[in-house]
Structure 1
């Protein structure tokens, strides 16, 4: 199943919020307790997503005019890659990562970092990312991963 990728717009905030919250509650709930999930959910309300759209470059993947996934880039850090649970394991996340890596490379980023959930570690490893350290924020364990992209595109 194919998807289109485009820059996120302000009017996507509600749909982006829904995708992120669905992924957190469905996928990440396998690796984190409910109280940790709900604490993270607070950071992705439509209002909070609107604020994020002003601070970072955000892409969305679309299928049949609906947002099904999102990813952001803030400097040399990948932020908030989430895929709607109904569209996971179909190549959408891989496609978004290819686009964000290309964008990062064109912006001169040689080493791209991602703060990964435990849930997404295997996904990022398949893309060539390696764990460089672990960070604990309360009960939330995050893996900081990175991948060398090489020199910028000419």
Structure 2
């Protein structure tokens, strides 16, 4: 799973974020960090054949760790992952789903009906906080 995340960060987000920001974010997805995610979040994966091509997770009412391997982007993998996340959120009684989106992914989430509500900064890393009603 880490391979997919690192590839997406390096190849996709690199056009919007400086290398030092990408390197800092990569550290958040070390194997020990991923094991902790598995304990605290509902994790979804997309697999084609025997190849893991995408991942997303639900942390309460927040979408986390949504990544699709670059060769598989634009083929509906992300849309299907988000559908699974939304179904799980609805089953948990979530009324409004939030996603801290990268600048790169903002158009993707907007196409799914999310709207930007504010920017958030972690140092020089800009994240767009977006929401979508599930009602």
TM-score range, shorter chain: over 0.9
Cα distance in 1 between the residues matched to 2:44 and 2:50: 14
TM-score by length of 2: 0.98
Any idea what the Cα deviations from partners look like across 1:58-101, whole Å, max 9, x if unmatched?
Answer: 00000111111000001000001000011100000000001110
* Structure 2: gaps spanning 5 or more residues: none
- Residue 98 of structure 2 is aligned to residue 117 of structure 1: no
Which of 37, 53, 59 aligns to 2:38? It is 53
- Aligned equivalent of 2:51: 66
What SS does the corresponding residue of 1:44 show, helix, strand or coil? Answer: coil
- Aligned equivalent of 1:97: 82
- Residue 10 of structure 2 is aligned to residue 25 of structure 1: yes
Q: CA RMSD for the aligned pairs? A: 0.6
Report how far residue 118 of structure 1 moved: 0.2
* Structure 1: gaps spanning 5 or more residues: 1-15
TM-score by length of 1: 0.86
- Aligned equivalent of 1:81: 66
